[in-house]
Structure 1
Amino acid sequence: MNGASALAGAVRRGELSAGETVARALHRIDAANGTINAFTAVVAERARARAAALDRGLAAGEDPGPLAGVPFAVKNLFDVAGLTTTAGSLINRDLPPAAVDAVLVRRLEAAGAVLVGSLHMGEYAYDFTGENAHDGPCRNPHDPGRMTGGSSSGAGAAVGGGLVPVALGSDTNGSIRVPASLCGVFGLKPTYGRLPRTGTYPFCDSLDHVGPLAATATDLALAYDALQGFDRGDPACARRAPEPVLATLTAGLDGVRVARAGGFFAAEDYPQARAAVDRVCAALGADREESLPGAAAGRAAAYLVTNAEGAALHCRHLRERVNDFDPDTRDRFLAGALLPAGWYLQAQAARRAWREEMATLFRRTDLLVAPCTPCPAPPIGTRHLELAGRRELLRPNLGLFTQPFSCIGLPALSVPLWLPGEALPIGVQLVAAPWREDLCLRAAQVLAEAGVAEARPGVV
């Protein structure tokens, strides 16, 4: 894949114009989007105008920024001036177009990147499959008959298919990491509160994160550095100074204590996930295992909190326009609206206990290795997985291993692996203590340099 860092370097050196990078991206989108359905809107006129302005600035000797001329796209819950923020829904199509871009869109463009469009997603971000009743399924760029994962489905497909080298997604229970795993790209869910959500459509306030997906670990770090910084428009955004990681990306992991996540994350019934974790642990020198006894309760808490907070947000529309929801989304929100308050309080107590358990663990361990999804991308339309002689619902279990870490806001990065004999990628999570995204990114770079983690161009 043509990575963001390589493109930006060529533009900065004058070997390639921003206009050329954007024209190539628009051509790829036009050629492939009919197959994979990654984009819901393309802003070609805006992109060309932005590229032309960058090229004029370059000719005048201006610094175009570290992402000079890099095309990017955003999940359609990010506000884009002039577009309606649909959040994958039918109901939101009645809203007026956004007046201004989301903060993170503005930050990437300030760093020289060029927005080319908005991306497919699961309705209201409540999805792990990439199948949307209103917009149709988003299709895996490595096999269009397969799922992308969700809810940042278009982001995974667009980067995995080489349409753009960088995309923005959101992650409440795994919605960056699941499509990163199934589409074979790098995806970072930062610490809760690290990046501002200002100008994005909410889902579950106490669990919502935003972050980048990219074709390489270097590109992920490059985008992450450009995105950092406090913004008062998001009450959850931490008042922390940016902590750039790109310059430290090649520092290696000497002295970093790496462990395998066991217990709930053992993946004994998921052979591909377990094999992928084995490879990563061997490459990173993870020679011990942490049992993580609170993980199952943490995942259960995430379910209840998501149901309750999501249903509360959509309560009016559940009363007035219930039939305009995707049926799967509707049913989950209706269930959440009926949850007793006591259950929500118990879930928050379980969440606190799980957070304390992990805080204790990170006094003796710096980095955890865990499976990301239980399997590579299933065929579109799959409803169940056959595992170890039993039948399990697919939709919730795609987030089996991502939800516990979202529940307590830990930084987690999915790295893509291609196992021998497998035609599809699968991801492995790198998880660190709060605010230690640098460790996740350094480990991802180690794996990339060793040839263990790799994003390959899609077939579309």
Structure 2
Amino acid sequence: MQSIRDRLEIILSRLANRADEKVYTKLYSEAARAAADAADARQKAGVGLGLLDGAIVSIKDLFDVAGEPTAAGSLMLASAAPASRDAAVVRRLRQAGAVILGKTNMTEFAFTAIGDNLHYGTPGNAVDASLIPGGSSSGAAVAVAEGSSAISIGSDTGGSVRIPASLNGVVGFKPTARRVPLAGAFPLSMTLDSIGPLARSVTECALADAVMAGEDSAFLQPIALAGLRVGIPRGVLFDETQAEVASAFEGSIRKLEQSGARVADLAVDDLIAEMRAATKRGTIASMEGAEVHEDWLAAGASVPVDPHVSGPLSRALAIPASVYIRTIRRRTELAASMDERLASVDVLALPTTPMVAPSIAAMTGDEALRDKTEGLLLRNTQAANQFDLCAISLPMPGMILPAGLMLVARRGHDRHLLGIAAAVETLLGR
């Protein structure tokens, strides 16, 4: 049987031979070797540290690691004061025996869904490097899809775990906000931020989620698909869906019906429209992000910042506090209404992204197309953040370029959702 150290060395060798590294912004080669050796020794001795003992894990470049600055995909923070301690999730991963390989690339300040980074380069999609990876956890999805990490930890404010998971053909889980502690994670939106794993399987995502949430057991209760109540939110969330994505989605739903699930349309367009009206003056992420970045937005940036990031944040900075407070209050009411609406189903099912990954070249050459693409990539995923839900993206079978099936459940129903997702994953894999 291959040792963890051997597995690690193969990965490190592969990364060392890559001429232009864009997936990882930092590798912890020596620390990872020491952690792998320790995990191998424990395995030989028949003892284990925890659920992730020996798992090779990477972390998004917005999590603090003691002794170094947290860049969050920006030049501005590259020379910031070093973190005094590991982020809460990094600490928990280490305690569970994870071998932390490195930090993965991301969009600047975790803003934007395309996955490009002007400063550290854009990791090409794992299926075809000329295509966008999706963001903001761009490197995280590529690392898992290419096999250089078993699990990668990302953040999700409007779809930043699930969008790149969808476009790279891996599993991505967004837990209920505040399920996993945000301490030591560079913020975008205190209301919407959540920390979730990307992996090749639901089981691996569930293990990482349990560790990060501080749960003792990661036992996944299998959920029988027979009798499962599945709501399909047909309407605006299905507009402009590419034919191949729509076809794969309908095929997945047919399999669910054949397994005995009770599938029915569930209208949510009214709530989506009301949320759009509530956030018309400014999105919650941009208004809260403007507060995080207020100092440099007001004084002017000392180093270049991606205009796709600085532009929306600057505009949001001018929005009055009264508008923000009203938006948050209305969001609370609408989240309660959505929770009531979802009481009649176990999960919602819809495409994670209504499209497959477009080319990087197309996104850099056409601003109007980029804006439209970004809107489409975020449209379905951001609903889970806005309405305070949990959600997971699973690769859909039979596609040339990947796209995900998204399952969405009520807030706090995370383990139930993971149990359903594990059964659906098995069904789709047949």
Q: Is TM more than 0.5 here?
A: yes
Query: What RMSD, in angstroms, separates the aligned Cα atoms of the two structures?
Result: 2.4
Report if aligned partners of 1:50, 1:114 keep a CA contact under 8 Å in 2.
yes
Distance of aligned partners of 1:77 and 1:176 in 2 relative to their CA distance in 1, 3 Å threshold: same
Report if aligned partners of 2:57, 2:150 keep a CA contact under 8 Å in 1.
yes
Residue of 408, 418, 423 corresponding to 1:446: 423
Question: 1:286-301, aligned counterparts within 5 Å?
Answer: 286-292=262-268, 293-299=270-276, 301=278
Report if aligned partners of 1:166, 1:212 keep a CA contact under 8 Å in 2.
yes
Report if aligned partners of 2:252, 2:428 keep a CA contact under 8 Å in 1.
no
Question: Which digits, 9 at most, give the CA deviation of each residue in 1:271-323, with x for residues without a partner?
Answer: 23322331332222352111102113325646521111111110111123435
- Determine the C-alpha separation between the residues in 2 that align with 1:29 and 1:141: 14
Is 1:278 paired with 2:254? Answer: no
One-letter identity of the residue aligned with 1:75: K
- Determine the C-alpha separation between the residues in 2 that align with 1:247 and 1:121: 30
CA deviation after TM superposition for structure 1 residue 79, in Å: 1.0
Distance of aligned partners of 1:243 and 1:378 in 2 relative to their CA distance in 1, 3 Å threshold: farther
CA deviation after TM superposition for structure 1 residue 81, in Å: 2.5
One-letter identity of the residue aligned with 1:30: A
Is 1:18 paired with 2:1? Answer: no
- Determine the C-alpha separation between the residues in 2 that align with 1:220 and 1:316: 37
Alignment partner, residue 267 of structure 1? 239
One-letter identity of the residue aligned with 1:270: Q
Question: 1:42-53, aligned counterparts within 5 Å?
Answer: 42-53=27-38
Distance of aligned partners of 1:165 and 1:299 in 2 relative to their CA distance in 1, 3 Å threshold: farther
- Determine the C-alpha separation between the residues in 1 that align with 2:278 and 2:429: 33
Residue of 104, 109, 134 corresponding to 2:89: 104
Distance of aligned partners of 1:140 and 1:403 in 2 relative to their CA distance in 1, 3 Å threshold: same
One-letter identity of the residue aligned with 1:262: R
Alignment partner, residue 232 of structure 1? none
Alignment partner, residue 236 of structure 1? none
Q: Secondary structure at the match of 1:363?
A: helix
Alignment partner, residue 340 of structure 1? 320
Q: TM-score, normalised by structure 2?
A: 0.91
Residue of 359, 363, 366 corresponding to 1:379: 359
CA deviation after TM superposition for structure 1 residue 21, in Å: 2.5
Q: Secondary structure at the match of 1:369?
A: strand
CA deviation after TM superposition for structure 1 residue 130, in Å: 1.0
Alignment partner, residue 84 of structure 1? 69
- Determine the C-alpha separation between the residues in 2 that align with 1:401 and 1:273: 13
- Determine the C-alpha separation between the residues in 2 that align with 1:27 and 1:309: 41
Question: 1:183-194, aligned counterparts within 5 Å?
Answer: 183-194=168-179
- Determine the C-alpha separation between the residues in 2 that align with 1:299 and 1:438: 29
CA deviation after TM superposition for structure 1 residue 113, in Å: 1.4
- Determine the C-alpha separation between the residues in 1 that align with 2:136 and 2:67: 23
Alignment partner, residue 413 of structure 2? 436
CA deviation after TM superposition for structure 1 residue 423, in Å: 2.4
Q: TM-score, normalised by structure 1?
A: 0.85
One-letter identity of the residue aligned with 1:280: S
Report if aligned partners of 1:85, 1:98 keep a CA contact under 8 Å in 2.
yes
Question: 1:390-409, aligned counterparts within 5 Å?
Answer: 393-409=372-388
Report if aligned partners of 2:130, 2:359 keep a CA contact under 8 Å in 1.
yes
Alignment partner, residue 312 of structure 1? 291
Structure 2 unmatched runs, 5+: none
Q: Secondary structure at the match of 2:406?
A: strand
Q: Secondary structure at the match of 1:287?
A: strand
Give aligned-pair identity as a percent. Answer: 33
Distance of aligned partners of 1:61 and 1:288 in 2 relative to their CA distance in 1, 3 Å threshold: closer
One-letter identity of the residue aligned with 1:57: R
Question: 1:1-150, aligned counterparts within 5 Å?
Answer: 15-32=1-18, 34=19, 37-150=22-135
Alignment partner, residue 327 of structure 1? 307
